[in-house]
């Protein structure tokens, strides 16, 4: 039987956040059930290897936990070798075919920011191309034996118009690959305003390390913030705090330029929130952060938002449905439950093909039942309120 995730405000959640903050605090006093809840969250959010690294000298942590985390670290180290080989191979294939892939997020962080790549497990590899070439690159990989996971809900032309990446591909090595045509979501796809992206400037500043093209560190920092706060409302987990802490400890950030870009792109509120969270969780990195003197503080919301970093991923869709109603209004809510997607710039809505789910009626019925069942739980209602609160704050 699967272990239940802990509820918001639980001792297990608070203890996990404390363990992830490398400030030398002792292990929390928890009972066996709470330790199991803590470990369940660690598994869900890929935190076990990092916990092993941070707490391996802490004898007060139960021996069973230490063994699990050590095993997860070793497994992640082995997986990192496969992922790195896949990164080199896939980028090599695309560059040989005339494309210019840029590896995103964990591909740089794991090997250039963290002490060991095992500490930053990756669910997939994200590669940025552009709208005019991403489908051709996708087809090249299909011809090389990569397997499509697309269910056919949207035509690729609509995916290009509405989404930030094509459906995932599975490589011959079994690694999930996402080809992105843009860095983050476009206006109309979230419950709050989507930031603008200086796409051409970011692409022009890319760097090469180890034969792979990456975002420049300052642009990577912006991407991590927008991806976590605006695209995912923090459901990407506490690893993003470690990502940013290790990044700013490793690289010099031109803070005046960073904040100017954040204001121009309309994501400065999200940046203040995320960096306030990093400052709270990673005291050692706090001295490497700089905040604009003329901006309001996000410290109060940073404390409240910590629970969203450990929100239950199995209920985020249900919580998101009601957060859309609270933050985006009835129109956005109806589009969401009807499987309709649109971009603000053209207003044209596209309906997802639900044939793989047995048709729209069957899908809608199952989605409604699952949502109502989940929303009967107090912690999911709290999750929904937190998501809506964050969206409203971002638009203030």
Model confidence pLDDT, tens digit, residues 338-384: 554 455 455 444 444 444 444 444 545 565 667 667 667 777 777 77
Same domain, 290 and 331: no
Helix (H, G, I), strand (E, B) or coil at 63: helix
Task: Report the pLDDT value the prediction gives residue 365, as an integer from 0 to 100.
Answer: 55
Confidence of residue 64 (pLDDT cuts 50, 70, 90): very high
Same domain, 302 and 370: no
Task: Report the pLDDT value the prediction gives residue 122, as an integer from 0 to 100.
Answer: 94
Our count of domains for the chain comes to 2
| Those residues with Cβ within 8 angstroms of residue 72's Cβ, 6 or more apart along the chain or in another chain | 48, 49, 52
Mean pLDDT of 72-89: 97
Mean pLDDT of 311-334: 65
CB 298 within 8 A of CB 270: no
Residue 184 lies in a domain: no
- The answer to whether residue 90 scores a pLDDT higher than 80 is yes
Same domain, 350 and 380: yes
Mean pLDDT of 292-311: 79
Task: Report the pLDDT value the prediction gives residue 367, as an integer from 0 to 100.
Answer: 57
Residue 189 lies in a domain: no
Mean pLDDT of 283-302: 84
Residue 53 lies in a domain: no
Same domain, 305 and 339: no
Residue with more model confidence, 220 or 188: 220
Confidence of residue 336 (pLDDT cuts 50, 70, 90): low
- The answer to whether residue 1 scores a pLDDT higher than 50 is no
> Whats the size of the chain, residue-wise?
396
Residue 165 is classified by DSSP as: B
Same domain, 336 and 358: yes
State the CB neighbour count (10 A cutoff) for residue 9. 10
Mean pLDDT of 267-280: 94
Report d(CA 90, CA 201) in Å as an integer. 25
Report d(CA 237, CA 234) in Å as an integer. 6
Task: Report the pLDDT value the prediction gives residue 192, as an integer from 0 to 100.
Answer: 83
Model confidence pLDDT, tens digit, residues 196-209: 988 899 999 999 99
Q: Which among 287, 310, 333 is the end of a domain?
A: 310
Residue 75 lies in a domain: no
How far, rounded to the nearest angstrom, does the alpha carbon of residue 252 sit from its chain's CA centroid?
A: 23
Report d(CA 246, CA 117) in Å as an integer. 12
Same domain, 318 and 298: no
Mean pLDDT of 309-330: 70
Q: Which among 249, 278, 310 is the end of a domain?
A: 310
Q: pTM value?
A: 0.86
> Which range of residues forms the domain containing residue 304?
218-310
Instruction: Return the ∠ at Cα 364 (arms to 359 and 366), rounded to 5°.
Output: 100
Q: And the tokens for 334?
A: 């109806």
Element (H, E) at 97: none
Task: Report the pLDDT value the prediction gives residue 356, as an integer from 0 to 100.
Answer: 46
Report d(CA 15, CA 34) in Å as an integer. 9
Same domain, 381 and 318: yes
Residue 155 lies in a domain: no
CB 246 within 8 A of CB 112: no
Confidence of residue 256 (pLDDT cuts 50, 70, 90): very high
Q: And the tokens for 75?
A: 């497994």
Task: Report the pLDDT value the prediction gives residue 388, as an integer from 0 to 100.
Answer: 85
Same domain, 278 and 224: yes
Same domain, 251 and 294: yes
Task: Report the pLDDT value the prediction gives residue 358, as an integer from 0 to 100.
Answer: 42
Model confidence pLDDT, tens digit, residues 25-44: 666 788 999 999 999 999 99
Same domain, 301 and 331: no
Residue 126 lies in a domain: no
Task: Report the pLDDT value the prediction gives residue 290, as an integer from 0 to 100.
Answer: 94
Q: And the tokens for 121?
A: 């497990």
Task: Report the pLDDT value the prediction gives residue 325, as an integer from 0 to 100.
Answer: 65
Confidence of residue 299 (pLDDT cuts 50, 70, 90): confident
Four-residue CA torsion sign, 326, 331, 334, 338: negative
Q: Which among 310, 341, 361 is the end of a domain?
A: 310
Task: Report the pLDDT value the prediction gives residue 300, as an integer from 0 to 100.
Answer: 79
- The answer to whether residue 178 scores a pLDDT higher than 90 is yes
| Those residues with Cβ within 8 angstroms of residue 45's Cβ, 6 or more apart along the chain or in another chain | 237, 238, 239, 309, 310, 313
Q: What is the mean pLDDT of the chain?
A: 84
Same domain, 222 and 300: yes
Report d(CA 387, CA 382) in Å as an integer. 9
Residue 359 lies in a domain: yes
Model confidence pLDDT, tens digit, residues 129-166: 999 999 999 999 999 999 998 766 678 888 888 889 99
Residue with more model confidence, 260 or 327: 260
CB 134 within 8 A of CB 97: no
Residue holding tokens 């090249």? 140
Q: What is the dihedral of CA 381, 385, 387, 391, to 10 degrees?
A: 160
Mean pLDDT of 50-66: 91
Residue 81 lies in a domain: no
Same domain, 389 and 321: yes
Model confidence pLDDT, tens digit, residues 372-396: 676 677 777 777 788 888 888 888 7
């Amino acid at each position: 039987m699967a272990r239940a995730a802990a509820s918001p405000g639980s001792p297990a959640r608070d203890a996990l956040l404390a363990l992830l903050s490398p400030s030398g605090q002792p292990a929390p006093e928890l009972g066996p059930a709470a330790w199991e809840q803590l470990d369940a969250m660690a598994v869900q959010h890929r935190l076990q290897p990092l916990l092993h690294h941070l707490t391996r000298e802490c004898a007060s942590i139960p021996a069973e936990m230490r063994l699990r985390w050590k095993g997860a670290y070793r497994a992640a180290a082995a997986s990192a070798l496969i992922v790195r080989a896949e990164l080199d191979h896939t980028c090599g294939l695309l560059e040989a075919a005339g494309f210019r892939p840029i590896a995103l997020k964990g591909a740089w962080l794991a090997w250039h920011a963290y002490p060991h790549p095992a500490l930053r497990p990756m669910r997939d590899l994200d590669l940025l191309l552009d709208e005019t070439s991403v489908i051709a690159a996708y087809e090249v990989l299909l011809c090389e034996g990569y397997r499509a996971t697309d269910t056919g809900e949207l035509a690729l032309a609509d995916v290009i118009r509405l989404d930030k990446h094509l459906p995932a591909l599975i490589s011959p090595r079994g690694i999930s690959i996402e080809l992105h045509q843009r860095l983050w979501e476009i206006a109309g796809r979230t419950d709050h305003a989507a930031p603008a992206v200086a796409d051409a400037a970011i692409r022009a500043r890319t760097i090469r390390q180890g034969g792979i093209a990456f975002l420049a560190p300052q642009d990577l920092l912006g991407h991590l913030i927008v991806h976590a706060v605006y695209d995912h409302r923090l459901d990407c987990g506490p690893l993003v705090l470690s990502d940013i802490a290790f990044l700013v400890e490793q690289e010099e950030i031109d803070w005046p330029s960073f904040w100017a870009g954040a204001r121009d792109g309309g994501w400065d509120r999200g940046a203040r929130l995320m960096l306030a969270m990093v400052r709270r969780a990673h005291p050692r990195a706090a001295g490497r952060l700089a905040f604009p003197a003329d901006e309001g503080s996000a410290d109060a919301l940073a404390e409240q938002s910590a629970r969203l970093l450990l929100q239950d991923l199995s209920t985020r869709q249900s919580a998101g449905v009601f957060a859309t109603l609270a933050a985006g209004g009835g129109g956005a809510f109806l589009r969401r439950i009807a499987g309709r997607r649109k971009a603000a710039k053209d207003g044209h809505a596209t309906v997802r093909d639900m044939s793989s789910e047995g048709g729209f009626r069957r899908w809608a019925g199952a989605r409604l039942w699952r949502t109502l069942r989940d929303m009967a739980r107090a912690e999911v209602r709290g999750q929904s309120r937190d998501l809506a609160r964050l969206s409203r704050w971002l638009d203030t």
